[in-house]
Amino acid sequence: MESINKEFVIGIDIGGQTTKCGVVDARGQVLSQTVIRSDDTEDEKVFIATLADSLHTLIAAADVVDNVRGIGVGAPNGNYYTGTIEFAPNLKWGGNKVIEFAKLLSKKMDGIPVSLTNDANAAAVGEMTYGVARGMKNFIMITLGTGVGSGIVINGEVVYGHDGFAGELGHTCAVRYNGRQCGCGKFGCLEAYASATGVARTAREWLEMTDEPSSLRSLDRISSKLVYDAAKEGDKLALRVFEYTGKILGEKFADFIEFSAPEAIVLFGGLARAKEFLDEPIRKAMNENVLPLWRDKVKLMYSQLKESDAAILGASALAWEL
Amino acid sequence: MESINKEFVIGIDIGGQTTKCGVVDARGQVLSQTVIRSDDTEDEKVFIATLADSLHTLIAAADVVDNVRGIGVGAPNGNYYTGTIEFAPNLKWGGNKVIEFAKLLSKKMDGIPVSLTNDANAAAVGEMTYGVARGMKNFIMITLGTGVGSGIVINGEVVYGHDGFAGELGHTCAVRYNGRQCGCGKFGCLEAYASATGVARTAREWLEMTDEPSSLRSLDRISSKLVYDAAKEGDKLALRVFEYTGKILGEKFADFIEFSAPEAIVLFGGLARAKEFLDEPIRKAMNENVLPLWRDKVKLMYSQLKESDAAILGASALAWEL
C-alpha cells in the first residue's frame, strides 16, 4: 500500500532551443531526465506530441507509471491562469498565436493535470519549495540570464496579476538618461543593462568610447562570460563593467523593495555566478536607494540549486500545487 | 432581533494636524463624524485618551452602542501586522518611538478590536469596499497629496510585505538624471516630483531658470493650487508643469504595471483633482513605457468618494475585515 502514497511530479522547462524534462520526488530529487529539441518544428501539435512521447518513456523508465500527480511547465510567455503560451517570439512554434499548451499536453498525457507559468515564476516556486527561499512568504526571484526575468512571491503565493503576466521586472526602467533600447522595443529597460547581453553591450560600448587598455580589446567577439574571465584576471575595465551592472541592479532592487517589502531578493542564472563582482555594488546601491527603514534589512541571496536541475525543479514544484 | 444584525464600524484618519473620526454603516454611509486636533500634545497616551472620549460621544450620538463591530485606523507609518505607529515624524506625539496604538486604543474602547494601517493602504481598502475598485482583485491606489502614497492590492488583499510597510511607491526613483532630493533624504523620488509639493517646486524651478512669461511670476508664494489656477487660465508654463508631472507619473506607473499587472491604477487626493491636465500625459507616458501586452489595457481611474468622507471611509473599511 505504501507505493500508492509515493507521488511524483514532472517538471518541464521549455527554452528556445531545448526543452528539459525530469521526474521529481517530494524531496526535490530529479530521478531521471531527458532533453528534446524545441526548434525542430513550427507546428505546436507536433512539438507537444514529441514531448508527450518523451514523457511517457521517461515515466516508464523511472518506474512511476500511475504515480505521477501532475506536470509543471515553465515556458516563455506562459500564462498561469489560462495554461496558454501566448505570442512567444522565442519559440519557433509559438510566435504569433495563443496555444492552449496545458490543455493539449494534459490530453496527450491521459489527463494528468498540467500547470504552466513563465520560467522565472517557475524558478521562484522552485526556490520556495526546494531552495534558499524555503519557508519565506515574501521574496523576489530575479533570473539573470540572456534576459532579466522575475518571479514575485507575496504572502506565499506567486503574483500573477490581473491577466496572468505580472512580474516583468526586467522591463522596468533603469534610472538612466536616454536609456538603451531593449529587445522589447522600449528604452532603458533593466534587461538592456543587467542581463548577460547587457554586460557584453556595456563592455563593447566602453571599449568603443575610450582608449582604456583592456584585455578585451584583443577579442573578436565580447560575451558576458569573456568579460567575467577578464575581470577574474584583474582587467580594470571588465571589473568596472560588473560594478556598473551591480549598481543598476541595486538601484532597481530598491524600487522593488519599496513595492513589496520582501524578506529577500534571490538571484539565479548565469550572470548570478559573477557574485564575487556583483554582490558588493548591488548591496551598496540597494541600500543607498531604499528608504531608511529597509536599509541593511533585506537579504540578498543566491540560488543554491544545482544548475543542471534547477529549471526542471522549478517547473516541477508548480505541479505539487495542483 | 434585527438590530442585533445591524452592525457599524468606526473609521479614524490620523493626520499631522487633525484626526477625523466617523461611524459608518455597511453601505458606506457616514452616520456621524467629528474632528479632533492631533497636535495638542506630545504624549500619545493623552492623545489616545482624548480620542477615546470623542469616540464614546460619537457612538452614543449615533445610537449604536453595543453595535460597533470594529475600529479601523489610517495613520502615517502605521504597521498592519503589529498595530503600531512607528517613528512617525509628522505626528507630534509619534516622532521617535514605536506606539502600540491599536492595543492602547482597544483597551480604552472596552475591547472593541482595532485594525491599523497607513493612510494610503486604508484608502485602497476603502476604494475596494465602497469605491471605484469595488469587485477588483488587483489594483494600485496612488494618493497624490502633500506626498505620494500608495496601497497595492493583489488577489483582493492589500500587500503589507514581510514587515508590514510595503507600498512606498512615492519613494521609488523617478527616471531623472541627478534627481531632486526628497523629504526622505533620497534623491529622485517620485514624491519629489509628483506630489502637490513637487508641482510647486517644478513651477518655482522653471520660473527661476527661464524668463518665460507666466502669471505665476506676480505671486509671492507658489502652491500647487495656484499652479492649477494658472493652468485653468491657460498659463503655458503652468500647463507644462502638469504635463511634466503627468509624464513622470505615467513613466512610473509603467514600472508598477510590470510589477503586479493590475486591472487599474486609481488616483486619489488633492492633486488628482487636476485630472483635466494630468490624465492625458499620464496615459501617454504609461502606454509608451509599458510592454506592448499591457498597452491601453490597464485602466486609469479616479476616486469618486466624497472628499470629506473618503479618509474616514477608507479607515472604516479596514474594520469590516476584523
The alpha carbon of residue A274 is apart from the nearest alpha carbon of chain B, in Å, by: 25
A-chain CB neighbours of B188 within 8 Å are 175
Within a domain: A216: yes
Which residue segment(s) compose the domain that B23 sits in? 2-125+308-320
Residues in B 282-301 with any Cβ partner in A closer than 8 A: 289, 291-294, 297
Interchain contact A173–B (C-beta under 8 A): yes
The order of strands in the sheet holding A139-144 is A157-158, A148-154, A139-144, A264-268, A299-302
Q: Pick from A209, A279, A290: which is nearest to A247 by CA?
A: A279
Instruction: Please tell me what DSSP assigns to residue B7.
Output: -
What lies within 8 Å, CB to CB, of B29 at 6+ separation is none
Q: Identify the three-state secondary structure at position A313.
A: helix
Q: For cell 485630472, name the residue.
A: B275
Question: Which grid coordinates belong to A230?
Answer: 577578464
If asked whether residues B297 and B313 sit together in one domain, one would say no
Q: For cell 489656477, name the residue.
A: B229
Read off φ and ψ for residue A22, nearest 5 degrees: -155, 155
Question: Which grid coordinates belong to B88?
Answer: 512617525
Residue B20's beta-bridge partner residues?
A: B13, B35
Q: For cell 472620549, name the residue.
A: B53
Rg (CA), chain B: 20
B-chain CB neighbours of A171 within 8 Å are 258, 291
Residue A116's beta-bridge partner residues?
A: A73
Residue A34 gets the label, from left (phi > 0), alpha (psi -120 to 50) or beta, of: beta
If asked whether residues B193 and B297 sit together in one domain, one would say yes
A159–B157 C-beta distance less than 8 A: no
Please check whether residue A115 is in contact with residue A121, taking contact to mean a CB–CB distance below 8 angstroms. no
If asked whether residues B276 and B157 sit together in one domain, one would say yes
Within a domain: B130: no
The alpha carbon of residue A4 is apart from the nearest alpha carbon of chain B, in Å, by: 35
Within a domain: B35: yes
Q: Which DSSP helix (H) or strand (E) runs through B75?
A: none
Could you say which of B161, B173, B251 has the minimum Cβ distance to residue A262?
A: B161
- Preferred mutation among B175, B177, B248 to probe A, highest tally of A CBs within 10 A: B175
Distance from C-alpha of B151 to C-alpha of B24, rounded to nearest angstrom:
21
If asked whether residues A296 and A314 sit together in one domain, one would say no
Q: Nearest-CA residue of chain A relative to B297?
A: A163
If asked whether residues B150 and B214 sit together in one domain, one would say yes
Within a domain: A32: yes
CATH code for the domain in which residue A74 is found: 3.30.420.40
Interchain contact A120–B (C-beta under 8 A): no
Q: How many other C-beta atoms are found inside a 10 Å radius of the C-beta of residue B232?
A: 13
The alpha carbon of residue A247 is apart from the nearest alpha carbon of chain B, in Å, by: 14
B175–A175 C-beta distance less than 8 A: yes
B154–A161 C-beta distance less than 8 A: yes
If asked whether residues A242 and A312 sit together in one domain, one would say no
Q: What is the DSSP string of A247-306?
A: HHHHHHHHHHHHHH--SEEEEESGGGGGHHHHHHHHHHHHHHHS-GGGTTTSEEEE--S-
Distance from C-alpha of A158 to C-alpha of A122, rounded to nearest angstrom:
9
If asked whether residues B222 and B207 sit together in one domain, one would say yes
Interchain contact A147–B (C-beta under 8 A): no
If asked whether residues B87 and B144 sit together in one domain, one would say no
Q: What is the DSSP string of A120-165?
A: HHHHHHHHHHHSTTTT-SSEEEEEESSSEEEEEEETTEE--TTTS-
Q: Distances from the Cα of A144 to the Cαs of A20, A150, A156, A181, A196, in angstroms?
A: 19, 9, 22, 18, 7
Read off φ and ψ for residue B25, nearest 5 degrees: -95, 180
If asked whether residues A300 and A313 sit together in one domain, one would say no
Within a domain: A130: no
* Confidence at residue B149, expressed as pLDDT on a 0 to 100 scale: 93
If asked whether residues B40 and B58 sit together in one domain, one would say yes
Q: Give chain A's count of helices (H) and strands (E).
A: 10, 13
Give, for all 322 residues of chain A, the pLDDT tens digit.
Answer: 344 568 999 999 999 899 999 999 988 999 999 999 999 999 999 999 999 999 999 999 999 999 999 999 999 889 999 999 998 888 999 888 999 999 999 999 999 999 999 989 999 999 999 999 999 999 999 999 989 999 999 999 999 999 999 999 999 988 666 788 888 888 889 999 999 999 999 999 999 999 999 999 999 999 999 999 999 999 999 999 999 999 999 999 999 999 999 999 999 999 999 999 999 999 999 999 999 899 999 999 999 988 778 889 999 999 998 8
* Confidence at residue A3, expressed as pLDDT on a 0 to 100 scale: 47
pLDDT < 70 positions in chain B = 1-5, 175-178
Q: How many other C-beta atoms are found inside a 10 Å radius of the C-beta of residue B301?
A: 19
